[in-house]
Structure formats: structure tokens, C-alpha cells
């Protein structure tokens, strides 16, 4: 008889490793690069980006943040320009990210990202963006 129950942290890690092993049989190449960059003002961290390469030559951006007092001053654009340069160095063909209604949707459009999908709930919408790297 099968039994369904909560996993321990170790068991979660085991499942994730098994999935990665299985996926790597089919994917063209494993994860091979991370981009974790920050913007600083006189040594103070004021923003950053965290991203990783996926197996399909897509750089997936999990985090973009700029402190409120530094927004609309070019910090985000500088971070994303550096991100794109690093994506090229890693061999990415495109950059992918997602964001919510209240986050930088217009900013991403202004730097060349195209909205390719949207998921709506009663409380919010999540927007999915891609940028092809030239």
C-alpha cells in the first residue's frame, strides 16, 4: 500500500536530485552558470540581480531589485545591461523573467523585453517576459 506524507529537508533534496538526474537525460546541457551582480553607491548595496542559466540556453532571472530611492536613476538599466553582457558570455540565446503587477513591467518593456504570457488571479497578475539576445 502506498503512503503519502510530508518530506524532511533531506528527502526534498533527494527528490530534487533525482529529478535533475532524470531531466539531464533529455536536456541539451546541464545548468552551467550563475549571474549574481550588485549595484553599489559608496560601498552601500543599492540593488542587485540573481540569475542562472537553464539547459535550453535561457538565462532565467529570479531576482531584480533596486532600493526605492535609487529607482528611475539608471541603476536598474545598468544592472540589466551587465546581466545581458554576462548572458552572452555564458552562451544564452535569451533572458527570461517574471514579475507581478506592481513591479517593473514598464521598465522591462523599455529595455527590450516582450511580454509572452500572463497568469491572472483575483488578487494579482503575474507577467512573463523574454528578451532575445542579439
What is the per-residue pLDDT across 53-85, written as a single tens digit (0 to 9) for each? Answer: 887 889 999 999 999 999 999 999 999 999 999
Average pLDDT over residues 43-59: 90
CA–CA gap between residue 113 and residue 87 (Å, rounded): 14
Q: Residue for cell digits 536536456? A: 27
The residue extents of the domains of the chain are 31-132
Average pLDDT over residues 32-44: 89
Average pLDDT over residues 37-64: 92
Give whole-number Cα distances, 54 to 4, 29, 77, 119, in Å: 31, 8, 23, 22
Q: Which fold has domain 31-132?
A: Aminopeptidase (3.40.630)
pTM, full prediction: 0.75
Amino acid at each position: 500500500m502506498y503512503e503519502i506524507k510530508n518530506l524532511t529537508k533531506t528527502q526534498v533534496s533527494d527528490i530534487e536530485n533525482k529529478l535533475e538526474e532524470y531531466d539531464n537525460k533529455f536536456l541539451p546541457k546541464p545548468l552551467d552558470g550563475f549571474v549574481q551582480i550588485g549595484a553599489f553607491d559608496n560601498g552601500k548595496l543599492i540593488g542587485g540581480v540573481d540569475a542562472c542559466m537553464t539547459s535550453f540556453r535561457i538565462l532565467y532571472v529570479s531576482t531584480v531589485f533596486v532600493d526605492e530611492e535609487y529607482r528611475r536613476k539608471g541603476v536598474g538599466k545598468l544592472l540589466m545591461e551587465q546581466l545581458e553582457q554576462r548572458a552572452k558570455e555564458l552562451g544564452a540565446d535569451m533572458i527570461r523573467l517574471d514579475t507581478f503587477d506592481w513591479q517593473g513591467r514598464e521598465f522591462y518593456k523599455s529595455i527590450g523585453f516582450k511580454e509572452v504570457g500572463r497568469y491572472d488571479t483575483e488578487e494579482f497578475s503575474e507577467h512573463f517576459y523574454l528578451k532575445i539576445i542579439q
